Chain A
Amino acid sequence: MNEQIIFTTNSTGSITNVHSYEQANLRQCTVASKNSAVRVGEKYLFVAQAQKALIHVYSAAYNNQRESVEQRLPLPEKVNCLEVVENNASIYSGTKSNGSLHNLPQLNLPYLLLASTESGKLYIWELNSGILLNVKLAAHYQAITKIKSIMNGKYIITSGKDSRVIIWQTNDLVSQDEPKPVAILHDHTLPVTDFEVSSVHGDNLFTSGVKLYTVSKDSTLRCYDLSTLVNQGNNKRGTRQRRSDDTAQLLATFTLPYPIDCIALDPAERAVYLGTQVGCYSLPLFYKLNGNKILNLLQPSSGNQGKIYSLIEEPTDISTKINKDALFAKNQLICNKFLEDSIVCLKVSMDGSILLLGDKHGRVHVTEIFSKQVLKTLQSLTTSQTMIGEVTNILLSTYSTVDNEKLALTMNKNNHNNKNSTGGLEKLPALQRVILDKGQANQSHDVWYQIGEEYEGQTDDHAKNSMSSPLNNLEEYLLNVQSEEIAFMDHTGISSDIITPKDQAQATSTTSSNRQEEIDTLNEKVTTLTKAYTDLREIHEKLYKEHQQLQE
């Protein structure tokens, strides 16, 4: 297992790993805004280019990255942020459809590509066809700072420089000409720079307790409970009524002395990490008070507005004794500080123990959270001494290395599949510039799509038993052998062959030479036996004679 880091600065892009040292440099990668790179499926990396209406597609497959631009997708205009909505078709959900499981196909694209422009427009493309499904004009009044799809892509959240956070329903965005947001959160007073959403969620928004953490230039972190969004369900039809009902509950507000540029959330939501111009602060969400008391900072309160806490930095000199309770009584929380640098980008590793901090100078610090030690600092491998600029994106994804290690010895497993795709990657359909006209009905709406091959490993599917191969399921195979054999055993006409297989075997296998041997051994046996017999006989006769003598 390893974790791949893709990070971009204003003028470079790099692919490297958390736990190993190889590093690849993406060519011709200039990035202006944050959240402008997104991993598309397993293999593709999309990076929205600065000053050009282009998305560069790179190959970001875990085992063979390539540095050159694989494909350039021209766009109607320059875009800032990118996000994809995964498809999650149900044949890949592990449940059997038509009795077979499927592997993921070679071309496994997410469903939507979302892109935002400087003016707050939101473009929505269907990746499989390149069709522009919708453009939401003025989704925000200013530039969108981040787009994220949540709840398996059922909803999309956008944050903007207009200090609003908007929650959309994906279905509305793709099917309505003028989609209305599900909710607009406008508690922030200055541009919302970043937000995070709980990574775990239930089937639906009602019960899942998904939380939204937004940070802003106004130095606050606000936490919302999204499950309150759907308070009134669908029974209310009136738009007005619905809109007034649909607001997420603000659970708590945390203030810092500095504007917050970015946020990262522990995978298990134990802590949030806030990046500011003076460093990164970590705030444990289960806050420890004196003694054994632990407080859930996000406990819903009876008021609708939640509590307000101010965060203060832990004093550096140990001599000062902090009374956490007293501070808490004043609604002040102590939080730790990492790395005194201007942090613009944050990411937490999959195990929640490593924090990646991207700073203003284009470096990424791999830091262990517990010890606050910087394990290594990553920099883009560029020869030019030009301005690298600040870190704009950090993408982190976990991949398994088992296959690579094993297959290094033998052959590429996907040999067969790869032979069709020249150059390794399938070309993606071009992104269209004209919105799909939903009124016009006669479109064939072609999607490039591939269904994954059937899973060939062991399945507990009894319909295929007769075909089970010994490698996949030895037990099944042997049982099959057993049941087949009955056909031969039952039949009386054949049984003579079977019942006396020994005779037959001997008859067919013996040759003249070993026959002679056999005769010899048999003769030998006969002689020994006769000898023993005669001996016995002699003894017997002797004894008999004695017996007779005694009788007389």
Chain B
Amino acid sequence: MSVKGISMTSLVKELEIATGNDFQNVLKALSSSTYVDEKLLKTDLGLLNAKILKLLRSNKEYEVWKGCHAASMICSFNALFLLSYGGQSLNAVYAKLEHMLNYYSSTTNTSQGRTLLKTLVTTTKILMDLMRNKPTLSRECLVPKLKAIIPTLIQLSRYDPELCLPILRDLLFKHSTTFKPYVNKFRASLTEQIATGYHHFPKEVQQLLCSNYAYLHLIKLQAQNVQDETEAHHRAYHDEAWRAGIFSILVQFKPIIKLCSNILDFDQDKELSKLFELLPSDQYKDYKIEEFLPPLKLDLNAPFTLWELPRRINLLVDLLTSFVTQPTPFPIRVPIGTINFICETLVSVSTKYLPVKRELRRDQDLNAIIADILPEIQFAGITLWRDMLKSYGKCFLPMSDRILGSLEVFIPFKPKSNVVDLETCKLLEEKLLNVFEVANLVLSNVGHRLNEVDSILKLVEIGLYLTEDTSLIESIFDNKPLDKKEAIISQNKNKTKHKKDNKAGAITDLYTNYDQFLTKTSLRKFDEINNFLSFIISNWRLGTSQQIQTIKYSVSRSLQIKEQMGSIPPSFVKLLRLLVLNPGNERLSILPIAISLLKASNDVAFDLLCHPRLPMGIVHNAKKLADVEEDDEKVIEEGTYHGVEDDGAEKAHSSYNFNIPEIGDDEETVPIPNLENPSIPVTNVENETKVFKKRSAEEVEQLETELSVKRTKVSEQSKTKEEIIEEQIIADNEIEKELQPAVERVHEEAAKDEIVEKNEQEDEDEEDEEFEIPEIHLSEYEDDEDAESDN
């Protein structure tokens, strides 16, 4: 029928019989726009619809599967089909889905069954997504069907959460009203899954469970939940239910952390106990959200039960994160202050500043487990911070100092010292990478001035250490005659492997193949560390040793990776670039090294550094010319005027810039012959002296006005300047030249008398400031500031 493309009749025939690649080609053909034609609607598309329905209703799994794909394909690309037959397709797909669910155990015991189930669910989702936001279609077809689809999916979510929960989340988000009748059912199902088997699910499912749980609160709480009916007339915010949800999670932190106080002596730290007291303990208003989490069973006599503690905290953090970092259809009120307290409290739960309770110190297992779970608890706080910082950005700016300070608590120290325990850091590696991320997130918003520098420097130290695993290998190879014990200690992270070896008896491998026992640092880890280091380097000047260590690390590791992989990963390139741009306190630039390393690759930044483009080159030429001529000029000047004028000009210049004490100094010192004055580029040697002198005169004039009146209007000044220039141009003769030095002298003397005595004792910058300040009460301000800074 259509000029181009396969005719629908043959396509339909082919659709029925095609398999494999043929089928995919048929699907591709269906996406053609030739079929989006109203003329085809009744005949061809009707035919296709009939065929798809037939496939969908077939009792052969393969045909149903084909029907699903054909339906989602044609509906996606053919709006006409979607509008006229989309509803029928959805019905058919749903009917099959329902059927499969009814006989779930028997239908899904084969791989075809499982695949078909997945396809059915996916197709339902695709069709629903397509129908959404099209008012008539969604009113006529989608919403009525949703009433059946939602309960089915809820039921299915118990068997196959990974498949159904994303769809249910979408439905909750986009069809909150339609979802309303099923909320309680879904809540029951979700809470049961969370309460009983949360930690058995893979990470993705955990996230899905949490986000679905949070989205349940998009639906307004039902009337029976509001205790106080008298307040019903208040216009409620959109987010009342959501907020109640947030608080229902927030209040659960306090009791859990209280359990920690049975392990650690919270009383030792007044700050922490204050913080702890401030944690929320009341539900939001009168909204009651049932607590579904079972009470924890902890027994200090059975130390392993303590593992419940971090597990529960992680669950709470996950739930809270879902509440506060998920897209919502309306703005929500987020108590970031409270969340910040929770993070802070969690991070403070550490043996660093708090002792373990006296009565618990004997049991070795118990203490070991406590030592293990505490970083887990702290880490929960850090992840929460990370997620919050990612989503809320600058809102946490006022807390940044406290966050950075708290990060330090997480850094393990050697007992009773201020030295970072690098061995333990290795064990906490993954967690520390998150700490770096948090530090980066915080630091990206603050400027260069910061109060919390210590923790950053410590983190840099750790970062550099964590990258150091090659040097660890080297050290072992260098010191062959290590005895066994030492080797095991130095290869801390391979402890488990060694143990196994010991049991098996054959430990010779340990000596012959050291490298086999070392886990290579992954590129991802390098990326994280490089990010952190790049950030630090570009914002702060590190101490010499750290800077050099960083340089050494980046250069040697880049080279090593380059040898292995043939290229340098982007994060290393960035680090090298920043090291070149920020040499810190070092005198030497690593530019040549960096370029040699990146020789083969095209690096725009280094290219620009080595070959500055456009006007720059020309500018340098122009400047050079002027400079050379200037030198000539100076020689002439020195000969003629014994350098007096030159000197005077310079002095006048500096005095114009309020650098008055220098005048005094200059007065005594012998004129420096090679004074540079690049601000006077001169093009013509003959004019040289003339121009130069003019300028000096002009500036002397400025000096005069400056000193005598201190605050003259600049407009006047510029006028006088111009007048002078004009005069100079006209009067270009010897007399003028001879007069000039004398004039200068006089002014300089005047200047000296006036100011030097006043300021002799004070240091330079203060004078600077006093002179730069406008006369308005500024001196007062300065005093204030000085006083403050002294404090």
Contact = CB atoms under 8 A, between A and B. Distances in A.
Contact of B24 (A206, A450, A478): A478
Given A178-B788, A445-B337, A448-B333, A328 B400 contact: no
A329 B711 contact: no
Given A182-B449, A218-B714, A294-B615, A89 B391 contact: yes
Contacts of B608: none
A302 B397 contact: no
B115 A133 contact: no
Interface stretch (A20-28, A361-369, A466-474): A466-474
Contacts of A469: 72, 76, 125-126, 129
Given A141-B778, A233-B540, A485-B20, A329 B393 contact: no
A462 interface: no
Interface string A147-167: 000010111000000111000
Contact of B449 (A190, A234, A301, A441): A234
B225 to A, nearest CB: 21
B776 A89 contact: no
B115 A498 contact: no
B621 interface: yes
Given A91-B391, A450-B328, A485 B23 contact: yes
B615 A420 contact: no
B397 A171 contact: yes
B6 to A, nearest CB: 17
Contact of A90 (B23, B393, B694): B393
Given A154-B447, A444-B337, A299 B789 contact: no
Nearest to B444: A90
Contacts of A151: 447
Nearest to B392: A89
Contacts of B114: 487
B274 interface: yes
Given A90-B390, A189-B714, A470-B72, A447 B539 contact: no
Residue of A106, A171, A453 with most partner-chain B CB within 10 A: A171
Given A85-B394, A186-B773, A438-B398, A293 B618 contact: yes
A479 to B, nearest CB: 9
B600 interface: no
Interface in A472-520: 474, 478, 481-482, 484-485, 487-491, 494, 497-498, 501-502, 505, 509
A469 B785 CA distance: 63
Nearest to A411: B133
B16 to A, nearest CB: 6
Contact of B581 (A169, A207, A240, A293): A207
B133 A415 contact: yes
A98 B390 CA distance: 10
B657 A305 contact: yes
Given A296-B615, A325-B683, A329-B681, A470 B126 contact: yes
Contact of B715 (A230, A259, A415): A259
A96 B684 CA distance: 61
Interface string B239-279: 00000000000000000000000000000000000110010
A448 B332 CA distance: 5
Given A469-B129, A470-B72, A491 B341 contact: no
B234 to A, nearest CB: 16
B430 to A, nearest CB: 17
Nearest to A490: B111
A463 interface: yes
A337 B582 CA distance: 41
B737 interface: no
A153 B394 contact: yes
B560 to A, nearest CB: 27
Contact of B60 (A153, A175, A219, A497): A497
A217 B543 CA distance: 44
B337 A487 contact: no
A200 B67 CA distance: 54
Contacts of B392: 87, 89, 447, 449
B62 A494 contact: yes
B371 interface: no
Contact of A466 (B76, B122, B581, B615): B122
Contacts of A232: 541
A304 B657 contact: yes
B178 interface: no
Residue of B112, B275, B389, B788 with most partner-chain A CB within 10 A: B112
A547 interface: no
A223 to B, nearest CB: 14
A98 B386 CA distance: 11
A107 to B, nearest CB: 4
Contact of B17 (A91, A180, A202, A502): A502
Given A89-B393, A307-B679, A441 B772 contact: no
B145 to A, nearest CB: 18
A243 B76 contact: no
A303 B679 contact: yes
B669 to A, nearest CB: 18
B776 A444 contact: no
B336 interface: yes
Given A448-B332, A481-B23, A488 B133 contact: no
A102 interface: yes
A111 B280 CA distance: 26
Contacts of B676: 302
Interface in A316-330: 325-326, 328-330
A446 B337 CA distance: 7
B722 A89 contact: no
A63 B412 CA distance: 55
B682 A329 contact: yes
Interface string B525-539: 000000000010011
B627 to A, nearest CB: 11
B653 interface: yes
Contacts of A128: 395
A549 interface: no
Nearest to B448: A230
A505 B17 contact: yes
A242 B449 contact: yes
B204 interface: yes
B765 interface: yes
Interface in B736-788: 765, 772-774, 776-778, 781, 785-786, 788
Nearest to B321: A98
A299 B619 contact: yes
Contacts of B111: 487, 490-491
A434 to B, nearest CB: 16
A393 to B, nearest CB: 25
A244 B166 CA distance: 58
A281 to B, nearest CB: 15
Interface string B387-415: 00111111101111100000000000000
B393 A240 contact: no
A257 interface: yes
Contacts of B238: 420
B333 A446 contact: yes
Q: Which 5 A-B pairs have the closest CB atoms?
A: A445-B337, A89-B393, A233-B541, A444-B335, A239-B789
Interface of B: 16-17, 19-21, 23-24, 27-28, 31, 60-62, 65, 69, 72-73, 76-77, 110-112, 114-115, 118-119, 122, 125-126, 129-130, 132-135, 166, 174, 204, 207, 238, 274-275, 278, 280, 325-338, 340-341, 389-395, 397-401, 441, 444-450, 453, 535, 538-541, 543, 578, 581-582, 615-616, 618-619, 621-623, 653-654, 656-657, 676, 678-679, 681-684, 687, 691, 694-695, 711, 713-715, 718, 721-722, 725, 765, 772-774, 776-778, 781, 785-786, 788-790
8 contacts: A111-B393, A239-B788, A257-B718, A303-B657, A305-B657, A416-B132, A448-B334, A494-B61
Given A178-B788, A305-B657, A469-B126, 16 more contacts: A87-B392, A88-B393, A102-B327, A151-B447, A234-B449, A239-B788, A293-B622, A305-B653, A329-B681, A446-B333, A447-B334, A448-B334, A450-B328, A487-B114, A498-B19, A502-B17
